[in-house]
Amino acid sequence: MELWQAIILAVVEGLTEYLPISSTGHIIVAAGLMGINENAFVKDYTVMVQFGAILSVVFLYWRRFVQGIGLYKKLAIAFLPAAAIGFAVKDRIDALLGDVAVVAWAFILGGVVLILADRWFKAAPNQDGSGSPSQLDSLSGKGAAVVGIFQCIAFIPGVSRSAATILGGLAQRLDRKAAAEFSFLLAVPTLTAAGAYKLLKILPTIQAEQVTSLVVGNFVSFVVGVITIKAFIGYLSRKGFLVFGIYRILVGVALLAWLMSGRALHMV
């Protein structure tokens, strides 16, 4: 993998990790289109480049992390389901990561769900982008556990961790802003655990040129992640999920058409 290819994947990661459109699905497609999907390091890189995206959340929400122990308790409760189930089915998850048909159908079905979500979860009166206080502090421990269970759905490539957890938050009567913020905060322990596990696993095999790709890639995903989060919060509060749902359906249909044409698009 060349450095410019690593940068493109990092941009894709930063753009899609916190949008409800599936970072995994987009990275699989991007790697396939660049012809690097057969490179074994690419799959590891796409997990470890999430560290930059994690730092973007810490950078933007650092005040949340120093306000007290309450947030950490909620994040721990929400993280536990993914930690337990993820460890149990990690081999099956790795197998699914290369199945573009699964990604395509997850895109389409997830898009339908997002379109319907605007009807299921009506916007609260304060969701006008005016900077009204977040409802995040009202989330209970039981509510955090429900969000954590929703997060487990995202083990299916193409579902989107962001979409699943935001919908979980909405199901707990959070407004769109608060649901999105908790989704971002929950990404910190979830993505850190996945990235650290992968890093420890491949650390002895990393080569010098790969270190450069990892450093540059994480910096790029950090910068793009900061911009994306700030833009997404405002847009979601005002407009909802419709555009993301339509986009997911169009991409899913395009992927199915690609596969039906007999062209290969998978990761090792």
Domain ranges of the chain: 3-260
Residue type, 252: G
Global pTM?
0.87
Q: What is the DSSP letter of 204?
A: G
Q: What are 112's two structure tokens?
A: 């339908």
* pLDDT value, residue 102: 85
**What is the maximum span of the chain, computed from C-alpha positions, in angstroms?**
54
Burial class (CB in 10 A: 0-12, 13-18, 19+), 130: exposed
* pLDDT value, residue 237: 86
* pLDDT value, residue 128: 44
CA distance 183 to 161: 8
Residue with tokens 């089915």: 89
CA distance 94 to 235: 33
Angle formed at CA 50 by CA 104 and CA 192, multiple of 5 degrees: 115
CA distance 10 to 33: 15
Mean pLDDT by 10 residues, the chain (268 residues): 93 94 86 82 86 94 89 94 78 64 91 92 54 71 95 89 95 92 94 84 82 94 96 91 96 90 61
* Strand ranges, E, within the chain: none
CA distance 41 to 5: 12
* pLDDT value, residue 89: 67
* pLDDT value, residue 106: 93
Give which of 228, 225, 231 is closest to 51, Cα–Cα: 225
Helices (H), 49-159: 50-60, 62-65, 69-96, 100-120, 141-152
* pLDDT value, residue 156: 86
* pLDDT value, residue 97: 59
